[in-house]
Amino acid sequence: MSRLNTHIAHATADRIVIRGVDLVEEIIGKRSFTEMLYFLSVGRNPTGAQVAILDACLVTLMEHGWTPSSVITRLVLESVPGEMQVALAAGLLALGPVYAGTAEDCAKLLCEITDTSGGSDDRSARTANDLASAIVTRYRNAGHAIPGFGHPLHKPNDPRALRLLQLADDMRISGQYVAALRTLSSAVDAAYKKHITINATGAIAALLLEIQIPSDLMRGMAVVSRSGGLIGHVKEERVKKASREIWRFAEENIPYSEQD
Amino acid sequence: MSRLNTHIAHATADRIVIRGVDLVEEIIGKRSFTEMLYFLSVGRNPTGAQVAILDACLVTLMEHGWTPSSVITRLVLESVPGEMQVALAAGLLALGPVYAGTAEDCAKLLCEITDTSGGSDDRSARTANDLASAIVTRYRNAGHAIPGFGHPLHKPNDPRALRLLQLADDMRISGQYVAALRTLSSAVDAAYKKHITINATGAIAALLLEIQIPSDLMRGMAVVSRSGGLIGHVKEERVKKASREIWRFAEENIPYSEQD
Amino acid sequence: MSRLNTHIAHATADRIVIRGVDLVEEIIGKRSFTEMLYFLSVGRNPTGAQVAILDACLVTLMEHGWTPSSVITRLVLESVPGEMQVALAAGLLALGPVYAGTAEDCAKLLCEITDTSGGSDDRSARTANDLASAIVTRYRNAGHAIPGFGHPLHKPNDPRALRLLQLADDMRISGQYVAALRTLSSAVDAAYKKHITINATGAIAALLLEIQIPSDLMRGMAVVSRSGGLIGHVKEERVKKASREIWRFAEENIPYSEQD
Amino acid sequence: MSRLNTHIAHATADRIVIRGVDLVEEIIGKRSFTEMLYFLSVGRNPTGAQVAILDACLVTLMEHGWTPSSVITRLVLESVPGEMQVALAAGLLALGPVYAGTAEDCAKLLCEITDTSGGSDDRSARTANDLASAIVTRYRNAGHAIPGFGHPLHKPNDPRALRLLQLADDMRISGQYVAALRTLSSAVDAAYKKHITINATGAIAALLLEIQIPSDLMRGMAVVSRSGGLIGHVKEERVKKASREIWRFAEENIPYSEQD
C-alpha cells in the first residue's frame, strides 16, 4: 500500500483545509491572490513587503505586447475557439529557457555568488567579485549570453529593472541577492567594456530570491503572471482576428522555394 | 498592408505602455496583480470592492487537492523535469467544460434570466421565476446537470459558495446576477423536491458577472487561479514523487484482459 | 477495489502483448505503422485496400505549408529548443473544429444521411436527397459553412478530394458514405446555385467511414498525420528561424494604438 | 522585407507541391505514411529496407499500456471531452528526456563513439572500446543511468531490442551504429559486472541512425508513434472511464497530512 501523503489540501463535506488553513473561514475574503500564491509556493505567510515585491514582479511580466506566447495563444484561439484554456496553456508552454526562464538561470548565478561570499568583510567581497568575473568568463567562452543581462530594445537601461531594484531598496528588501546582482553587473560591464543593462528578469531573479522564492519555482511565477496578460489577448483576438493576418504574412513573405 | 492594430501594449527603449498606462511609472509598485488582472480583462480600473471580490473568487479556485489538473501536472513534471511551465500548462489544459467551465456555463444561464427580467416589479420577478423554471426543465429533459449546482462531496451546502455570496452581500456587490442565481436555486430545489447546493463555480459565476467580468473570460480566471495552486503541486512532487505511485496504481489495479 | 480492466496492452519480463497479439513475434518487422494504427483504432486487422485508403488519407493531411499548426510549432521550438515534443504537441493542439475537425463534422452529416436512407430503392434515394437538402438548409439558416465543402484556394475543385474519391472508386472501397457525400454535394450546389468544391477533409470523412473508422476518432488520424509533417517544420526551423520573422511581422505591422 | 524562404510546401488552386513532389499526382495512393514520414524528415526517398526499419521502430513504441502519456491523455479526455486532439497533445508532452528521449540521448553516445573510431583497423577498434568505457565511467560518476540501457521489467533482456537488432542484421542495415551499440553494451556489462539489457530505445537509437535519421529528430518519431497508440486509449477511455478510478486512487491513497 501507498505510504505517501500530501500536505496541500483536504476537503470534507463542510470544510476545505489548505496547508492547515481553513479556506472558508480564513482565506476567502481575507487574503489576496498574491498572498495565497506566496503561501502555496513558500509554505508560510508573507510579510506586507514580501507581498508588495511579489506583486511588483508579477505585474512586470504580465504583458509585453507581441511575444511568442501572445502569438501562439491567438493562433490556438482561432483554431479551438470554444476552449479558451487551451489557447492560454499553449501560450504558456513558450515561457521556457529563452523568453522567461532567464529569471531562473540568473537566480542560479546569484546563488552561486552568494553561496560562497556569505559575509561582508573585505575578503568575501573580493571573492564575490572574483566569482562574478569567473561566471562572466565562463559564459563568454561558451558563447552564451549572461542570463538577466542585455535587452534588444531596452538600452542602455531596462526601465523595469531600475524601478524594481529601486522599489526593493525603498522597501528595505534588498540584501545579498541584490548585492550579488550588482556585483555581477559590474563584472559584465568590465568584461564587455561598456554598460550592459540588467534586464527585467535579472531584477526579478534578485527580488524573488530576496523574498525566499527559490529559483526552481520562478518559472511558475512567470506562468501565473503571463496567464493574466494572455486573457487580454484572448479578448482582443476575438474581435480583431490578428492571427489570420500573422498567418497570411507567413504565406506571403516566406515563400516556397526548391533552392536556397 | 495590414490595417490592424492592437490596444494592448507598446514598448520603446525607455518606456512600456500597457493600455495607455505607463508600466514603470504607474503600475510597478503601485498596483497589485489582481488589480492588473482586472484592468487587462475588463479594460478599466476596478473599485476596491471589485478587487476584493475578484481576489475572493481567485483564492477559492486555487487549490482543491487531487484533481485531474494536479495529477496531470505531476505526471508531466516527472516526464519533463527541466521545464516546469510544461507541467503547469498541461494541467491547465484540463480546466474545461467539466471541471472549471461550469462557471462560464452557469453565468450564461444567469444572463439568460437577467436579460429579460430586467426590472424589479412583480411582472418581471414572475418572469425571472418562469425563465429559471424553464431552464431547469430544459436541462432535466436533456439529462444534463445544471451548471453551478450540485457537488459530490459538499452537501447539503458548498461552504465556499455560502461564504462568497455572503461576502458579496456584505460588500454591497450583490445585484441582479446574485438575485438570478438565487431564483435559479429556488427553481432547482422545486424541480428536484430537495435542496441542491449552489456550488463554488455557481457563486463565482454570479460574483464575476456582478463585477463586469463576462462569461467568456471566466475560464481565464480559472487558469490564473489554478496556475498558482499547481506551483505548490510542482514543489511537493519534486520531493514526494506521487506520480509514480499513481501510475503504478493504474498498472496494478486496472489489469489487462482480452475479454470484458 | 477497482473492477476495471483494459484491453490494450500487457507486458511481462519477456513478452509484450498488444490487444492479444505478441509485439515481438507478430508485429515488429511484420506490420507497418499504418496497419497497426488501424488495428489499435478499430480493433481488428485491416485488409490491404483499407491500409491503402488509410495511407492515402494520412499522406494527404501531413503537410500544407504555413498553417496555424506549423507556425505554432515553430514559435514553441524557438522558445523551448530542448524539448521537441513540446513544439509538436503545441502545434497539434490547433487541429480542432476549424482546421482539421471538419472531417469529423462532415462524417457526422454523412452518417445522418446514411442512417436513414439505408437501401438503394427509389424511396430511400429520394429520402437521401431530402435529408441532404435539409442539412444544407439547416447550416445556411444558422450562417455556418457546411463541413467538408468549400476551400479558399482550391476552387472550383480541391484536387486532393478528386484524387481520394477516384482512388476509393478504383479500389472498390466507395459505398454508402461516398454516395452520401456525392448526394450532399449535389444539394450544396443546388442551394448555392454554383459548384462548391468537396474539400480534402470532406473526402477523407467519406473514405475513413468506408474503412470503418468512426467519426469520433478522425481527429486522431489528423494528429498522427500532421505530427509527421511538423517534424519537417522543426528541422527547417532550426536552420531558418522563420518564427523570429513572423513575430517581428506582428510587432511591425500590427501596431499599438490607443484608439481604433 | 523578409528574404526567408521555405522548402516544405506550396499550394496553388489546382496543385500542392511538397518538397518538389506533386501531392496529388505522385504521393496520394502511391506512397505510404511511413515513406512520407521519412521523406519529410530526411529530405529524400527511403529504400525499401529503410522503410521496413522505420516501420519496425514506429510499431515498437506505439503502445506500452499504462504509461504517463496514456494516463495523462485519459485524464484530459475526461476533462475536455469534445476536443480529442487536446487529450492526445497533452499525453505527447510527456515524451521527454525520461520516458522517450533516451533514444535521442543514446544516439548521441553512439555518434560520440563512431565519430572518432571511424575505420575498422585495430587501433580504431581499440579506440571505440576506450570511448565506450569512458562514457560508462562518465555516467556512473555522475550517478546517471546510461541512456538506452536497463529496464525495470524487461530483464535480463528487452525482447523488443533483441528483435529490432536481429531485424537490422537480417536486412543488412546494421553498420557502424549497431556496432557502436554492441561496443557500448560490452563496456556497460564490464563496468557493472553483470549483464544490463539494451532496451528498446537503445536499439531504436542505433537503427534510426543507420537509416540516417538524426538524433535530434528521434523524439519526433516517438511523437508520431505514440500518437497512434494514444488513439486506442481515447477509444477505450470513452467507455471505461478509467481516469476517474485513477483520480479516486490518489484521493484515497495519498491522503492529506499536516506532518510528514
Mean of pLDDT over chain A: 94
Q: What is the pLDDT of residue A123?
A: 57
Chain C residues whose beta carbon lies within 8 Å of the beta carbon of residue B6: 254-257
pLDDT band at D258 (very low <50, low <70, confident <90, very high): confident
Mean pLDDT of B227-253: 95
Nearest to D187 by CA among D147, D103, D107, D128: D128
Chain A residue with CA closest to D253: the answer is A2
Q: Flag if C256 and A68 touch (Cβ within 8 Å).
A: no
Which regions of chain C are under pLDDT 70?
A: 1-2, 116-126
Mean pLDDT of the D145-172 span: 96
> What number is the ipTM of this complex?
0.95
What is the reported pLDDT for B99? 87
Q: What is the pLDDT of residue A99?
A: 87
Mean pLDDT score of chain D, rounded to an integer? 94
C-alpha R_g of chain A: 22
- What is the Cα–Cα distance from B188 to C245, expressed in whole angstroms? 55
Helices (DSSP H) in C81-217: which residue ranges? 84-93, 102-117, 122-142, 159-170, 176-192, 200-210
- pLDDT for residue D173: 97
Mean pLDDT of chain B: 94
- CA distances to A229, B100, B103, B186, D162 from B220, in Å: 10, 10, 11, 29, 50
pTM of the model: 0.96
Kindly state the average pLDDT of the residues A40-62.
97
Residues of D in contact with C238 (CB under 8 A): 216
Nearest to C257 among B2, B5, B256 (CB): B5
Question: In the numeric block, which cell numbers belong to residue A251?
Answer: 504565406
Among C87, C228, C67, residue whose Cα is nearest residue A68:
C87
Segment D134-160 shows an average pLDDT of 95
Q: Is D234 on the interface with C (CB under 8 A)?
A: yes
For residues A229-241, average pLDDT:
97
Q: What percent of chain B shows pLDDT beyond 90?
A: 90
Helix (H) or strand (E) holding D190: helix D176-192
Phi and psi torsions of A189, nearest 5°: -60, -40
Sorting pLDDT into bands at 50, 70 and 90, what band is D143? very high
Tell me the residues of chain A between 5 and 64 that have a Cβ less than 8 Å away from chain B. Answer: 5-16, 18-19, 23-24, 27-29, 31-34, 36-37, 40-41, 52, 54-56, 58-60, 62-64
- Minimum distance, in Å, between the CA of residue C195 and any CA atom of chain D: 15
Cβ contact, residue pair C6, D222, below 8 Å: no
Three-state SS string over chain B comes to CCCCCECCEEEECCEEEECCEEHHHHHCCCCCHHHHHHHHHHCCCCCHHHHHHHHHHHHHHCCCCCCHHHHHHHHHHHHCCCCHHHHHHHHHHCCCCCCCCHHHHHHHHHHHHHHHHCCCCHHHHHHHHHHHHHHHHHHHHHCCCCCCECCCCCCCCCHHHHHHHHHHHHCCCCCHHHHHHHHHHHHHHHHHCCCCCECHHHHHHHHHHHCCCCHHHHHHHHHHHHHHHHHHHHHHHHHHCHHHHHHHHHHHHCCECCCC
CB contacts of B249 in chain D (<8 Å) are: 246, 249-250, 253
Averaged pLDDT for residues D95-107: 91
Give D-chain residues touching A83 at CB under 8 angstroms.
80, 82-83, 86
Give the pLDDT confidence score for residue C199 in this predicted structure: 96
pLDDT at B125: 62
Q: What per-residue confidence (pLDDT) applies to D243?
A: 95
**B236 CB within 8 Å of a chain A CB:** yes
Q: What percent of chain D has pLDDT over 70?
A: 95
**Cβ atoms of residues D75 and D94 within 8 Å:** no
> Which residues are bridge partners to B10 per DSSP?
B17
Q: Is D186 buried (19+), middle (13-18) or exposed (0-12) by CB count in 10 A?
A: middle
* Mutation site, C1, C80, C248, interface A, largest A CB count within 10 A: C80
What pLDDT does C233 receive? 98
Contact B11 A65 (CB under 8 A): yes
| Residues of chain D contacting residue A2, judged by C-beta atoms under 8 Å apart | 253-254
Dihedral Cα C41, D232, C94, C106, nearest 10 deg: 40
pLDDT in tens, D9-36: 999 999 999 999 999 999 999 999 999 9
Confidence band for B117, pLDDT divided at 50, 70 and 90: very low
pLDDT (tens digit per residue) in C88-99: 999 999 999 998
Tens-place pLDDT, residues D234-247: 999 999 999 999 99
| Segment A104-163, tens digit of pLDDT | 999 999 999 998 644 555 556 668 999 999 999 999 999 999 999 999 999 999 999 999
Reported as a single tens digit per residue, the pLDDT across C199-246 is 999 999 999 999 999 999 999 999 999 999 999 999 999 999 999 999
pLDDT confidence bin for B102, thresholds 50/70/90: confident
Q: Using one digit for the tens of pLDDT, what is the confidence trace for A67-99?
A: 999 999 999 999 999 999 999 999 999 999 998
Q: Which residues pair with B198 in a beta bridge?
A: B149
Q: CA separation (Å) from A254 to C79, C81, D40, D42? A: 20, 21, 19, 21
In the sheet that holds A9-12, the strands lie side by side as A9-12, A15-18, A21-22
Say if residue B57's pLDDT is above 50.
yes
Site from C18, C85, C256 to mutate, B interface, most B CB atoms within 10 angstroms: C256
Flag if C24 and D160 touch (Cβ within 8 Å).
yes
pLDDT of residue C160: 97
Q: How many CB pairs under 8 A join A and D?
A: 61
> CB A256 to CB D10 under 8 A?
yes
Q: What is the pLDDT of residue C48?
A: 97
Contact C13 D93 (CB under 8 A): no
* D66 close contact with B: CB closer than 8 A: yes
- Among residues 177-196 of chain C, which lie with CB inside 8 Å of chain D? none
Identity (one letter) of the amino acid at B175?
G
pLDDT recorded at residue A258:
86
CA D137: distance to chain centroid?
25
